[in-house]
Amino acid sequence: MWEFGAVLFSFIYFLIHVAIESSQIQTDLDKGYFWHVTDLHYDDSYGKSGQSCGFPVSNPGPFGNGSCDSPLRLIEDSIMTMAKIKPDVDFILWTGDNAAHIPTSEFSLKRNLYMIQTTTSAIKRKFPGTLVIPSYGNHDFFPADYTNGTETAFYDTVCRIWSSWIKDPEQMLTCRRGGFYSRLVSPKLRVLAVNTVLYLIENPKSRNLTDPSAQFEWLEETLTAAREAGEKVIVSAHVPPTIPSPSVFHWFYPQYQGRYVELMTRFSDVIVAHHYAHEHSDTFKILQRNDETGASPVFLAPSVTPLRGTKPSGEQFAHRNPGVRLVQYDRQTGRHLGYQQFYTNITEDNNLGKSKWDELYSFTNAYDVPDMSVSSLRKIYHKMAKPFGAFILQYCSFYSVTSTPDDVCTLEEQAAFWCGGQLTDLNKTNECINRYMKQDQNVL
C-alpha cells in the first residue's frame, strides 16, 4: 500500500513538473521583442554653421555634438548597434523626424526627401528582413511642421519609399491620404501608425480644421474593429498628446487635444501602450481622464540626435546622449513586459574615436516593477511623489539619457514631471505643481 502511495505521489509530482515546464516553455515562446528608434535628424552638412548647428562649432567630433544634429556616422552606428544587440526582433517602431533642424531658407524639399531616403536605406541595410513601422515626424515635412494632409505628391513619394514595409494596398491608401495606417504584428496585436503632426500647434496649415485627412474617423473605425476582433493595439506616433516636461503646455491645437484624449481613453481596454517621440528625452506617463479612468501607459523614447533641448529658463540641457530602446512584450496579449534603454556617451566616443554603446537601465529593474502596465506606472509615480527622492532624481537623470545625475532637476521641474506625467488638463497640472512645490502632493 505504501509502495502504491509512493508511486502515485511520484506520478503526480511528475505531472505537476511537466505542467510547470510546459507552461514555462509556453511563456517563453510568447515573448517577443521590438525596437523603438526615433528622431535620427540626419544632417548632411554636419558641423557647418548656419545649418543644424546654427552657429560655428570648432570641433564637432565624428560621432555627434550636443549643438548639432546627427552625422551619418552616428545614424549608421546606432542602427548597427541595434542589429548587433538584437537582430531578430519582430518589428521596429520608427517614429519620424529624419531631417535635420535646418532653417527653411537654407533647406529644400529635395534635400528633405534625400534625408528620409538615406535613413530608410540605413535601416534596410541592417534589418533587411524585418518589418519596420515608420510614422511621420514634423521634421519629415518641408517646410518643417507644414501639413494638412492635402500634400498628395509628398505623402505619395514618402509612402512609396516605405512601401516594402507597409505592403497592404488598403494601408498604402491611408498612408498616401494622410500618413497613417495599421499593421497586424501578431494574430491578435495591431500597431497603429498615427500622423499626429496633423494636430501639432506649430503647424499653421491645420489650425482651422476639424479632422484633417479624416484620421479621427479612421482611428475610431480601426479601434472599433480591433475591439470587435478581440485584438489589442499599440499606438505609435511622433508628437505626443501628453503634457511635455518640464514645460507645461499642449502640443496639439485645442480641437484635436480634447478629441484625441477622449478617443484614446475610450479605447483604453484595447490599447496596451502608446509610444511617442518628438521631445528627444526619456519619459513615461499615464494617459487618462481627470478622474483617472480610461488609463493607458505612454512611453516617450529619447532621440538618436544628441542636439540638446532648451529648458523653460532658456538654459540648455547639459546632456542629451543618443539612445535606442528594446522592448519586450507578450505576443499573445500585447502586454509590455519591460524595456532596456541603450545609449552611448558621445563626449567619450569623440575622445576615443569609437563608440561604446551600453545599457543605461532596464525599466523593470531600475523602477522595481513587474512590467510596463498602468498599475506599474502608478506604483512608480507613487514613489516619485517625494521631492528630491531617489526615484524622481533617477527619472531626471534618465530624462537626459545620462548615467551621471549632474543635471539634477529643480523642485519646480520635479513637480512638472510628476504632475504632467499623470494629467492632461493644463489647469489641473498647474494646480498640482503648486501642491507638489508645497510638498502636499498626495492629491493629483
Site residues (vs Zn ion, CB under 5 A): 39, 97, 137-138, 278
Residue 404's SS3 state is coil
Closer CB to Zn ion, 278 or 320, in the complex: 278
Cβ-closest position to Zn ion? 97
* Minimum CB distance to Zn ion, residue 104 (Å): 15
User: For residues 232 and 238, which CB has a smaller minimum distance to Zn ion in the complex?
Assistant: 238
Asked, as a colleague might, if the bond just before 246 is cis with ω within 30 of 0, I would say yes
Which CB atom, from 88 or from 202, has the smaller least distance to Zn ion? 202
Residue of 118, 107, 137 lying closest to 72 (CA atoms): 118
Residue 310: how many other CB atoms lie within 10 Å: 10
Interatomic CA distance for residues 124 and 344, integer angstroms: 22
Cα end-to-end distance, the chain, whole Å? 66
CA–CA dist 237, 138 (Å, integer): 11
- Return the residue matching grid coordinates 497603429: 192
| Grid cell at residue 107 | 533647406
- Tell me whether residue 144 or residue 444 sits nearer to Zn ion (CB atom): 144
Q: What is the DSSP string of 418-439?
A: HHHTT---HHHHHHHHHHHHTT
**Least distance to Zn ion, CB of residue 264, Å:** 20
What's the CA dihedral at 75, 76, 78, 84 to 10 degrees? 170
Query: What's the CA gap between 112 and 91, in Å, rounded?
Result: 25
| 323-330, strands of its sheet edge to edge | 131-134, 91-94, 31-37, 323-330, 336-343, 358-362
Nearer to Zn ion, 205 or 278 (CB): 278
Nearer to Zn ion, 134 or 338 (CB): 134
The set of residues, in sequence order, having a beta carbon less than 8 Å from that of 394 and lying 6+ positions away, is: 366, 367, 405
Only one residue has cell 560655428, namely 56
Q: How far is the CB of 280 from Zn ion (least distance, A)?
A: 6
C-alpha cell at 293: 479612468
Supply the minimum distance, in Å, between the C-beta of residue 392 and Zn ion.
Answer: 25
Smallest distance from the beta carbon of 304 to Zn ion, in angstroms? 9
The least CB distance from residue 113 to Zn ion, in Å, is 17
What are the cell numbers at 227? 475591439
Q: Which amino acid is at 346?
A: I
Nearest approach in angstroms of CB 138 to Zn ion is: 4
For Zn ion, which is the closer residue by CB, 33 or 141? 141
Name which of 97 and 330 has its Cβ closer to Zn ion: 97
In the complex, what is the shortest distance from the CB of residue 305 to Zn ion, in angstroms, rounded to a whole number?
A: 7
